[in-house]
């Protein structure tokens, strides 16, 4: 019997939303909030208690159908166990988290990554992220991209992570120590049953006409007959360019340019991709208007969740907003060093 003690952070996306599932570019960062598994490998099942959930879970191994496991929160862990297969180890653990659940900060991906390490996954960050992405599809049915899982696995303290979602290459880009990254919660949401899957399908339909959006030229958007598909494609193509420009702006610590790109990204998600909400638009507008804030945008899948801004230190005093710091992802986090 040995100790199981692993954690995985949440993430906030600085720029590059709804590009990952078309193999595009994204630039998220890990945040200093974690989901922690603490227990022992013992017994013949996965027995879990969560301090955020009223009902505990007993998942028998091997897992055949993770989507039918009760209570529903345990499906993410069951799906990870199913993906690991015969090597998944039995354990008894308590899960704690300070990542707000259902707030667009990747609480489910953090649960998957911490579960995979606890259940005995051994491999590098891209392999861990791919396994957990498959688990997310099986557990929730949401056809998510790779961004959340790869950021949480491969993030780096003090850096944002530029991810190429085709090659899965990552580049850690330093965040200036005196730049505040501010997160504000707007509304709870789940991507299950939201317009997320429709957006994925619309991008796939656009790609049937103009080829991979990752490589498409903005002029090719005119070849699409359907106005909705035109707007979806225009968002993805312009968002990929904004991610490149944002990474350049961060490298030279040009906060004004970086902030402007965030605000442009929000407008594109609002008008062309239609994943924002009136409440998020209003929150972005009021945060962007605060002196010292360089730009703000919705972050993640949308339809609720959080907004993110970059600002001069101390500029945002709103008590409903908080400053986040990039931490090491689960693969390099020294907390996870001891794998017994
Ligand atoms: C969710 C998904 C990600 C990504 C974002 C939007 O967070 O899990 O894969 O598609 O939405 O950028």
pLDDT given for residue 227 in this prediction = 98
pLDDT given for residue 339 in this prediction = 53
What backbone torsions phi and psi does residue 277 show, to the nearest 5 degrees?
Answer: -135, 165
Q: Which residues contact 195 (CB under 8 A, 6 or more apart)?
A: 274, 275, 303
Which ligand 1 atom sits nearest the alpha carbon of residue 16?
A: 12
42-86: pLDDT as tens digits: 999 999 999 999 999 999 999 999 999 999 999 999 999 999 999
Which ligand 1 atom sits nearest the alpha carbon of residue 145?
A: 9
Mutate to test the pocket of ligand 1, among 20, 269, 305 (most ligand atoms within 8 A of CB): 20
Reported as type and span, the H/E element at residue 97 is strand 91-97
- Of 105, 108, 153, 110, which is closest to residue 129 (Cα–Cα)? 153
Q: From atom 11 of ligand 1, which residue's Cα is the shortest distance away?
A: 301
Answer yes or no: is the C-beta of 17 below 6 A from any ligand 1 atom: yes
Cis peptide bond N-terminal to 71, omega within 30: yes
Catalytic sites, residue numbers:
148
What backbone torsions phi and psi does residue 39 show, to the nearest 5 degrees?
Answer: 180, -145
- Of 105, 19, 35, 144, which is closest to residue 304 (Cα–Cα)? 105
How many residues appear in the chain? Answer: 340
Cβ atoms 323, 313 nearer than 8 A: no
What backbone torsions phi and psi does residue 202 show, to the nearest 5 degrees?
Answer: -65, -40
pLDDT given for residue 292 in this prediction = 98
> H helices of the chain, where?
75-84, 107-118, 125-140, 147-154, 196-210, 227-251, 255-268, 278-288
Answer yes or no: is the C-beta of 181 below 6 A from any ligand 1 atom: no
HSE toward the beta carbon, residue 264, CA cutoff 13 A: 18
What backbone torsions phi and psi does residue 54 show, to the nearest 5 degrees?
Answer: -70, -30
Beta bridge partners of 46: 59, 91
Answer yes or no: is the C-beta of 21 below 6 A from any ligand 1 atom: yes
User: How far is the C-alpha of 146 from the C-alpha of 135, rounded, in Å?
Assistant: 11
User: How far is the C-alpha of 334 from the C-alpha of 101, rounded, in Å?
Assistant: 25
pLDDT given for residue 337 in this prediction = 78
User: How far is the C-alpha of 103 from the C-alpha of 132, rounded, in Å?
Assistant: 19
Q: Which domains does the chain have, with CATH numbers?
A: 3-173+329-339 (3.30.230.10), 174-324 (3.30.70.890)
User: How far is the C-alpha of 99 from the C-alpha of 113, rounded, in Å?
Assistant: 14
pLDDT given for residue 248 in this prediction = 98
Beta bridge partners of 93: 39, 48
Would you state the structure tokens that stand for residue 218, as one six-digit string?
Answer: 């903005």
Cβ atoms 305, 272 nearer than 8 A: no
pLDDT truncated to tens, each residue of the chain (340 aa)?
789 999 999 999 999 999 999 999 999 999 999 999 999 999 999 999 999 999 999 999 999 999 999 999 999 999 999 999 999 999 999 999 999 999 999 999 999 999 999 999 999 999 999 999 999 999 999 999 999 999 999 999 999 999 999 999 999 999 999 999 999 999 998 898 899 999 999 999 999 999 999 999 999 999 999 999 999 999 999 999 999 999 999 999 999 999 999 999 999 999 999 999 999 999 999 999 999 999 999 999 999 999 999 999 999 999 999 999 999 999 999 999 765 4
Cβ atoms 39, 53 nearer than 8 A: no
pLDDT given for residue 319 in this prediction = 93
Answer yes or no: is the C-beta of 20 below 6 A from any ligand 1 atom: yes
User: How far is the C-alpha of 202 from the C-alpha of 339, rounded, in Å?
Assistant: 42
Q: Which residues contact 290 (CB under 8 A, 6 or more apart)?
A: 311, 315, 316, 318
Q: From atom 1 of ligand 1, which residue's Cα is the shortest distance away?
A: 301
Cis peptide bond N-terminal to 320, omega within 30: no
Is the Cα torsion angle 66, 73, 19, 129 positive or negative in sign? negative
Would you state the structure tokens that stand for residue 68, as one six-digit string?
Answer: 């039918």
Bin 102: left if φ > 0, else alpha if -120 < ψ < 50, else beta.
left
- Of 275, 91, 294, 99, which is closest to residue 196 (Cα–Cα)? 275
């Amino acid at each position: 019997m040995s100790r199981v003690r692993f954690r995985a952070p949440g993430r906030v996306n600085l720029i590059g939303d709804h590009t990952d599932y078309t193999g595009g570019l994204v630039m998220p960062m890990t945040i200093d909030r974690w989901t922690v598994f603490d227990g022992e490998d013992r017994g013949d099942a996965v027995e879990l208690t969560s301090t955020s959930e009223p009902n505990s879970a007993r998942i028998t191994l091997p897992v055949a159908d993770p989507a039918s496991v009760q209570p529903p929160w345990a499906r993410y862990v069951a799906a990870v166990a199913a993906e690991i297969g015969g090597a998944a180890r039995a354990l008894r653990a308590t899960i704690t988290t300070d990542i707000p659940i259902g707030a667009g900060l990747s609480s489910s991906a953090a649960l998957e990554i911490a579960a995979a390490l606890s259940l005995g996954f051994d491999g590098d960050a891209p392999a861990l992220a791919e396994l957990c992405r498959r688990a997310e599809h099986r557990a929730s049915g949401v056809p998510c991209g790779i961004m959340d899982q790869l950021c949480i696995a491969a993030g780096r303290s003090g850096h944002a992570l530029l991810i190429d979602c085709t090659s899965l290459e990552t580049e850690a880009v330093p965040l200036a120590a005196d730049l505040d990254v501010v997160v504000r919660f707007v509304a709870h949401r789940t991507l299950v049953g939201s317009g997320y899957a429709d957006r994925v399908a619309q991008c796939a339909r656009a790609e049937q006409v103009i080829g991979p959006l990752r490589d498409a030229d903005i002029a090719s958007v005119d070849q699409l007959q359907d106005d909705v598909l035109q707007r979806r494609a225009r968002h993805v193509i312009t968002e990929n360019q904004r991610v490149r420009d944002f990474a350049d702006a961060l490298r030279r610590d040009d906060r004004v340019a970086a902030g402007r790109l965030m605000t442009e990204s929000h407008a594109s998600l609002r008008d062309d991709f239609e994943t924002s909400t009136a409440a998020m638009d209003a929150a972005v507008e009021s945060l962007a208007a605060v002196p010292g804030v360089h730009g703000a945008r919705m972050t993640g899948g949308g339809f609720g969740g959080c907004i993110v801004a970059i600002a001069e230190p101390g500029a945002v005093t709103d008590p409903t907003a908080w400053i986040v710091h990039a931490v090491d992802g689960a693969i390099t986090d020294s907390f996870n060093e001891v794998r017994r």
